[in-house]
Structure 1
Amino acid sequence: MGTILALLSALSYGVSDFVGGIASRRIGFARSALLGQLGGLLVTIVAAPLVSSGAPAVRDLLWGTLSGVGTGIAMTFLFRGIGRGALSVVVPISAVGGVALPVVVGTAVLGQHPPALAWAGIVLALPALWLVAGGFSGGPVVGAAIGDGLLAGVGIAVQYLALAQADSASGIWPVTAGRAAAVLLVGAIAVALGRRPVRRSPTRPGVPTWASGGLVAMVLGGRPARQSLTRPAALASGGLALGGRPTRRSLTRPRVAALSSGVLAAAALVAYLFAARTQYLAVAVVLSSLYPVVPVALGVTVLNERLRRSQLVGLASALGASVLIAVG
């Protein structure tokens, strides 16, 4: 059951990043991250009393709060990197970094030792994540994007490690505490970073269309955006007002998308929390972290994009890793 829950967590996370990353390119990474955390907080406030048997201990709420600090750091720098147009740099670094640290801690500190087959799957999953995400190539913002990816990876690791320490009797209250902490942290970071200009690089070959705005109009207005779209065409699609400014409708949809991404991320954390209670920490983290497979698959199925050979190898490796972990 823990394996299934961890995979469901990956699915929910993947869709969350897909939707949230797109929203960040329309309304900005800071606002998108903040709205996402607010969405997650609201839904867990409603759900926690319904699925939890009693009041949580202060210790469990503190672990949840620390997890939320990690979430806030991860989401902010992940969305900032995507907003730079450097998704192919940020996603693989954050994904691998967010897996490697919890695996080391689970083994060396917590003394958990999964079976040999599960270890084989864990080892296979690390390069699979990198390949699925596409690796990265050089560009004007690569240096800054690497920093974003490393910080996001540390945040993801803290999120996973801290949440796994909460007692099962606490239900999902630790997730609620985490969402509250994430709202405060993301709000503070949004104020600090939102004042700085973000330099975007041109879309590089190999970067999925949905990462550079190709799906923005599909999510927000019903058709794929095109860089060659003229102002009359934009007006016809309802994206701009006559003065060239976004209309209220064009801004409402990305805000709803950002809120939805937070709800999906909260659902992913709940699924991971229950997975970590019934499975080895390293196994739960690795399976939950296979989320980059989802946006890649959506790019193929929704946008008819073509995968590079390395991504196909990564997808096959991720599938093999999941099978090995499940069998082990």
Structure 2
Amino acid sequence: MALASAAGYGVSDFVGGIASRRVAALRVVLVSYPVAMVLLAVLAVVVGGEISHGAILWGGLCGVSQAFGVWWFYAALGSGPISVVSPLTAILVAGLPVGAGLTLGERPGVVATLGILVALVAVVLVSREATDEDVRVHRFTTKVAWLTVGAGLAFGLNFVLIDQAPAAANLWPLVFARMSATVLVVTIAAVSGQLKAPSGVPLKLALLAGVLDTGANVAMLLALHASLLSLAGVLMALYPAATVLLAIVVLRERVTRWQALGMLLALGAVTMIAAG
């Protein structure tokens, strides 16, 4: 489930990033978030679950983190090189849940702990800069760097917060997360004068991003319920592998030998965590 979530996030991030190169990132999220909210609500009704104060509280807080995370992340992907922004964000996304899990008393086995360390190294290697040969030149500027760091912290906190939601609530915390995120995004868009949905290709990409994000979120919650936060979090942080692969194939971004080594280490890390 953690790897399925990583794949979903990786593809969704790529699609959202491409849409954000055509229109403002906030306008993309204005479509993808409501779509995910509706889809998650339908799934939550079908699956069932207890709507408790814990589900509302932790889900709502998670939504705030998600809203800023996706907004900043799409903005960074729209302005900077995708194969650099995505992996750098993942370093923080991986480190925060691991640190939080250990602080909360989680103690993974020796093999799994080694796997976590290998995975962190893999994310760092994958993050080494590649050459962007897209039609436009996308540089890793100071603004893009700040957006990347903010997105990484917000995404990492997202895993930590949703992990605190009661398991008996099933998918309802995800629904409340999307509700609060949608309200926040619409408010920000209204204040900034960007309350306008995209059209044409960007609209289609935003809709696709919303569908992919829904599946990734469901897989994320299932993974967190079935495993330790420190283990599931670091596996889900391997999502740049999918994003970088698509950037290489579609945008002709070049992968460095360090990134290739990082992907190989990621496979080894997954094996060690699963075995541990």
In structure 1, which of residues 10, 15, 22 is the aligned counterpart of residue 11 of structure 2? 15
In structure 1, stretches of 5+ residues that fail to align are 196-249
Query: Is the partner of 1:123 in helix, strand or coil?
Result: helix
Seq. identity, %: 37
Cα distance, 1:133 vs. partner?
3.6
Q: Does 1:106 align with 2:54?
A: no
Tell whether 2:117 aligns with 1:123.
Answer: yes
Distance apart, 1:303 and its partner CA: 5.9
CA-to-aligned-CA distance 1:282-303 (integer Å, 9 cap, x gap): 1111111111000222244556
Query: Partner of 2:2 in structure 1?
Result: 6
Out of 280, 290, 302, the residue aligned to residue 228 of structure 2 is: 280
Given the superposition, is the C-alpha separation of residues 101 and 254 from structure 1 closer, same or farther in structure 2, using an over 3 Å criterion? same
Amino acid in the other structure paired with 1:177: F
SS at match of 1:122: helix
With over 3 angstroms needed to count, the CA separation of the structure-2 counterparts of 1:282 and 1:194, relative to structure 1, is farther
What one-letter code is carried by the residue in structure 1 that aligns with 2:13?
Answer: D
Match of 1:73 among 68, 84, 91: 68
Residues 180-239 of structure 1: CA distance to partner in whole angstroms, max 9, x if unpaired? Answer: 1111222233345667xxxxxxxxxxxxxxxxxxxxxxxxxxxxxxxxxxxxxxxxxxxx
TM-score, reference length from structure 1: 0.76
2:260 — aligned with what? Answer: 312
Q: Distance in 2 between matches of 1:260 and 1:290?
A: 21
* Deviations 1:110-134, CA, capped at 9 Å, x for gaps: 1001111111111111231232243
Number of residue equivalences? 267
Corresponding residue for 1:162?
Answer: 161
1:190 aligns with 2:185: no
- Residues in 2 aligned to 1:63 and 1:136: alpha-carbon distance in whole angstroms: 37
Equivalent residue letter for 1:72:
A
Task: Give the aligned partner of residue 91 of structure 1.
Answer: 86
1:214-229 aligned within 5 A:
none
Question: Counterparts of 2:251 and 2:228 in 1: how far apart (Å)?
Answer: 36
Aligned residue identity for 2:20: S
Instruction: Return the alpha-carbon distance in structure 2 between the equivalents of residues 140 and 288 of structure 1.
Output: 27
Query: Aligned partners of 1:299, 1:118: CA distance in 2, in Å?
Result: 30
Distance 1:294 1:141 in 2: 20
Give the Å deviation of 1:322: 0.7
CA change 1:56–1:146 in 2 (3 A) is same
- Counterparts in 2 of 1:256 and 1:140: CA distance versus 1, 3 Å: closer
Task: State the Cα distance separating 1:60 from its structure 2 match.
Answer: 1.3
Q: Which stretch has the larger CA shift, 269-278 or 304-313?
A: 304-313
CA RMSD of aligned residues (A): 2.2
In the alignment, the residues of structure 2 paired with residue 322 and residue 26 of structure 1 have an alpha-carbon distance, to the nearest angstrom, of: 35
Cα deviation code 1:5-46 (max 9, x no counterpart): 101100111110011111111122110122111111111111
SS in 2 for 1:69: helix
Structure with greater Cα Rg: 1
Shift of 1:305: 5.6
> SS of 1:27's equivalent?
coil
2-side partners of 1:297 and 1:82: how far apart?
A: 15
Q: Alpha-carbon deviation of 1:141? A: 5.4
Give the partner amino acid of 1:274: L
How much has 1:143 moved relative to structure 2? 1.2
Q: Is the 8 A contact 1:97 1:154 kept in 2?
A: yes
Structure with greater helix percent: 2
TM-score (norm 2): 0.89
Q: What code does the residue aligned with 1:175 have? A: L
